[in-house]
Amino acid sequence: MKARELVDQLQKYDPDEEVIALVWFKDTFDFDNNDDLTLTDEAWLKVVKEMEEQGGIDSGDQQISEQISEAVIEHSTINIKSEEK
């Protein structure tokens, strides 16, 4: 989902209403610069679409982060490191 879609959904509620929200951003799952994998914007979009196709997530699901992490690894690009002189 795009951030603006989330904002649109939240605007339907009273600003003082209590809510519980689970939100993940790409940088939550991104790899360090010196890691063997890179999470591109295109790969993150695939992860988001995959999660949406599965019907979203159940807030009671204890494996949410693991599922997202597995999808991140599946869609990430392997970095090819050149030998330093």
> 84 vs 78, which has greater pLDDT?
78
Given a cut of 80, whether residue 40 has pLDDT beyond it is yes
Does this model's pTM top 0.85? no
Confidence at residue 50, expressed as pLDDT on a 0 to 100 scale: 87
Using DSSP, state whether 78 is helix, strand or coil. Answer: strand
Establish if 49 belongs to a structural domain: yes
Residue range of the domain that includes 84: 25-85
Query: Domain for residue 15, yes or no?
Result: no
Lowest-confidence segment of 6-10, 18-22, 57-61, 70-74 by average pLDDT:
57-61
Q: Where are the alpha helices (DSSP H) in 2-85?
A: 3-10, 26-29, 41-53, 64-75
Domain count, the chain: 1
Q: Are 16 and 57 in contact, with CB atoms under 8 Å apart?
A: no
Task: Encode pLDDT of 7-24 as tens digits.
Answer: 998 999 999 998 867 788
Residue 11 lies in a domain: no
In a domain, 80, yes or no: yes
